[in-house]
């Protein structure tokens, strides 16, 4: 069908009007004015207490709802937080996040904007603002490298320079192994006392934690006093934690994370190697029969000191075995494959040629230990059966009912039930059901006939 020039112009004009109307549909010309106007949104915080987001808005009429759209690193989209409906007029709307209701790590940056929705579904959005939640208890000094930015408050300039050099080297080593190019900065905050450090990490932090890397905000927190900066363990803990950040860059995907033992094992391997002390913890577990299966180390590690140490020892032992048996390229291929969101078995099979169970069995064999006893849900034992059904029960369980050693028991033959026999119960139930069905149909036919007869009189 062809349109005339005038008809085509009219159709185009109507299309433009429809697009301009937005999700609320066509609106009267008088309603073209914004349903809400916003001042630039603001955000403030009190460290350890609360974070507040506010905006001054003017509403032409009573809205359907007013919401704060809040995003933070790692979120797949903004959270919509509805605030009390203020009604028409000029108002200051706000939402307060109480830190006690959910810990927020220092150096977390929020993105926020406000949304007003009219009763007909039309929406207006404010401009966006960002707010960085920082630890304001100290006068931080900062030294910046190519990737790492070190922040400290206790210690001289040499202290900061030493920490920065260790951090830059740790990032470079992990990046070189995994073939990852880091471009975004990593913030490294150094605390000089236990209480401020654990306050920053939040409740529930284990007492033996001396450093923690949060990949979502690309931040490392460490507990290092000025007189400890040249200690050997400092040159270990900083690269260890920074390896986690590079590891996350290599495997980042929205679906799943690799096993914990692989992440921690690589961090230990790169920061210190499979040292005699780690070997001793694994050897002691082998001798005592206390090896933890690798599938028991895919999530959180044990909390007791000896089991916690063993978990790290086994992790680096497994990575060391993987490199010896399959080579570093296979390890890198395995780790990098997780970026596609594959399962553990898919990743291991593609990179090593064996699934996770096969790798675990090979690692245990290399240690010279049998597979540990499996705990957790187990198959239920066979239940009781009626007398005379031993053959059927044995067939179901896979074991012969009664046979001589070395003999082969034939499968039981199914015999059709005879009337009156114990196996005829199913047939009896079916016959009774059919009889009841026939009676019901007869009743319906008679009732319908009677109604028709009455209606004809």
Q: What is the pLDDT of residues 156-213, one digit of tens each?
A: 999 999 999 999 999 999 999 998 999 999 999 999 999 999 999 998 787 778 899 9
pLDDT at residue number 271 = 93
Q: Tens-digit pLDDT profile for the chain (457 aa)?
A: 333 444 444 344 434 333 344 444 434 434 457 889 999 999 999 999 999 999 999 999 999 999 999 999 988 889 999 999 999 999 999 999 999 888 999 999 999 999 999 999 999 999 999 999 999 999 999 999 999 999 999 999 999 999 999 999 999 999 999 989 999 999 999 999 999 999 999 987 877 788 999 999 999 999 999 999 999 999 999 999 999 999 999 999 988 899 999 999 999 999 999 999 999 999 999 999 999 999 999 998 998 889 999 999 999 999 999 999 999 999 999 999 999 999 999 999 999 999 999 999 999 999 999 877 777 777 888 888 888 776 554 455 444 433 333 333 333 333 344 444 444 444 454 555 555 555 555 544 444 444 433 333 3
pLDDT at residue number 29 = 39
Contact 226, 190 (CB under 8 A): no
Contact 89, 56 (CB under 8 A): no
- SS3 assignment, position 445: helix
Describe the chain by its helix, strand, coil percentages, rounded to 5.
45, 20, 35
CA distances (Å), 184 to each of 181, 249, 369, in order?
9, 10, 44
- Look at the pTM and tell me if it is higher than 0.75: no
Give residue-wise pLDDT tens across range 129-161.
999 999 999 999 999 999 999 999 999 999 999
Question: What CATH number does the domain located at 136-252 have?
Answer: 3.40.30.160
Largest CA distance in the chain: 114
pLDDT at residue number 208 = 75
For residue 315, the tally of other CB atoms under 10 A from its CB is: 27
Task: Read off the DSSP letter of residue 279.
Answer: H
Closest among 130, 129, 131, 113 to 36, alpha carbons compared: 113
CATH topology of domain 34-133: Immunoglobulin-like (2.60.40)
- SS3 assignment, position 315: helix
Contact 120, 25 (CB under 8 A): yes
Closest among 398, 170, 126 to 266, alpha carbons compared: 170
pLDDT at residue number 23 = 44
Q: Render 202-269 in DSSP notation, one character per residue.
A: -TT--TT--EEEETTTTEEEEE--GGGTTSTTHHHHHHHHHHHHHHHHHH--SS----HHHHHHHHHH
On average, the pLDDT of the chain sits at 82
Environment class of 185 (CB within 10 Å of its CB; exposed 0-12, middle 13-18, buried 19+): middle
Q: What are the structure tokens assigned to 415, written together? A: 């015999």
CA distances (Å), 142 to each of 47, 156, 163, 324, in order?
20, 11, 11, 41
Domain boundaries, the chain: 1-32, 34-133, 136-252, 254-373
């Amino acid at each position: 069908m062809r349109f005339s020039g005038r008809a085509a112009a009219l159709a185009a004009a109507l299309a433009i009007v429809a697009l301009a109307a937005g999700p609320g549909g066509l609106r009267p010309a008088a309603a073209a004015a914004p349903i809400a106007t916003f001042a630039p949104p603001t955000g403030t915080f009190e460290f350890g207490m609360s974070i507040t987001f506010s905006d001054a808005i003017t509403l032409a009429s009573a809205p359907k709802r007013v919401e704060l759209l809040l995003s933070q690193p790692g979120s797949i989209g903004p959270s919509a937080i509805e605030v009390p409906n203020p009604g028409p007029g000029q108002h200051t709307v706000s939402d307060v996040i109480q830190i006690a209701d959910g810990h927020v790590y220092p150096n977390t940056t929020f993105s926020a904007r406000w949304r007003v929705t009219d009763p007909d579904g039309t929406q207006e959005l404010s401009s966006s603002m960002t707010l960085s939640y920082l630890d304001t208890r100290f006068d931080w000094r900062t030294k910046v490298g190519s990737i790492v930015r070190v922040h400290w408050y206790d210690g001289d300039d040499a202290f900061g320079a030493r920490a920065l050099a260790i951090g830059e080297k740790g990032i470079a080593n992990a990046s070189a192994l995994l073939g990852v190019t880091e471009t975004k900065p990593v913030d490294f905050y150094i605390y000089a006392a236990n209480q401020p450090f654990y306050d920053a990490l939040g409740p529930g932090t284990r007492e033996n934690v001396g450093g923690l890397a949060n990949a979502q905000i690309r931040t490392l927190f460490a507990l290092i006093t000025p007189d400890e900066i040249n200690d050997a363990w400092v040159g270990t803990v900083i690269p260890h934690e920074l390896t986690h950040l590079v590891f996350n860059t290599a495997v980042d995907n929205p679906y799943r994370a690799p096993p914990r033992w692989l992440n921690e094992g690589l961090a230990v391997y790169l920061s210190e190697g499979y040292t005699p002390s780690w070997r001793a913890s694994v050897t002691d577990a082998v001798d005592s029969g206390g090896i933890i299966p690798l599938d028991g180390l895919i999530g959180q590690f044990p909390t007791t000191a000896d089991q916690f140490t063993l978990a790290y020892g086994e992790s680096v032992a497994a990575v060391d075995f993987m490199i010896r048996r399959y080579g570093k390229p296979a390890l890198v291929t395995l780790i990098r494959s997780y970026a596609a969101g594959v399962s553990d078995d898919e990743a291991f099979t593609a990179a090593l040629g064996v699934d996770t169970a096969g790798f675990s069995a090979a690692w245990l064999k290399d240690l010279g230990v049998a597979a540990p006893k499996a705990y957790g849900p187990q198959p239920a034992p066979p239940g009781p059966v009626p007398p005379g059904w031993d053959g059927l029960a044995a067939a179901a369980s896979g074991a012969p009912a009664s046979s001589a050693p070395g003999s082969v028991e034939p499968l039981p033959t199914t015999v059709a039930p005879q009337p009156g026999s114990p196996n005829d119960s199913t047939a009896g139930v079916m016959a009774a059901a059919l009889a009841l069905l026939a009676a019901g149909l007869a009743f319906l036919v008679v009732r319908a006939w009677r109604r028709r007869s009455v209606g004809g009189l």
